[in-house]
Amino acid sequence: MPILNRIMNFLKLLNMFWPINFNREEYRIVTQKPFRRNRNPISLITHLVLALTITGLQLHYELFQGGELKELAFIFMTTGNAISFLSGSVRGFDMILLIELLTAAATAYIYDMTLYYPVIMLMMAQTYIRLENTIELPEIDEDDIHHENHPENWRNNMHSRNERD
User: What per-residue confidence (pLDDT) applies to 22?
Assistant: 58
Q: Give 10-residue mean pLDDT values along the chain (165 residues).
A: 70 63 70 78 83 90 78 86 84 85 91 93 89 72 55 51 51
Residue 150 is assigned to a structural domain of this protein: no
Residue 151 is assigned to a structural domain of this protein: no
User: What per-residue confidence (pLDDT) applies to 9?
Assistant: 75
Owning domain of residue 73: 2-137
Residue 43 is assigned to a structural domain of this protein: yes
Peptide bond into 19 cis (omega under 30): yes
Buried b (16+ CB within 10 A) or exposed e, 132-156: eeebeeeeeeeeeeeeeeeeeeeee
Contact 100, 77 (CB under 8 A): yes
Residue 8 is assigned to a structural domain of this protein: yes
Judge if pTM exceeds 0.85.
no
Helix axes 91-110, 69-86, angle to 10 degrees: 150
Residue 39 is assigned to a structural domain of this protein: yes
Residue 75 is assigned to a structural domain of this protein: yes
Residue 57 is assigned to a structural domain of this protein: yes
User: What per-residue confidence (pLDDT) applies to 131?
Assistant: 84
Cβ-based neighbour number of residue 25 at 10 Å: 7
Reported as a single tens digit per residue, the pLDDT across 37-52 is 877 778 778 888 998 9
How many domains is the chain partitioned into structurally? Answer: 1
Residue 154 is assigned to a structural domain of this protein: no
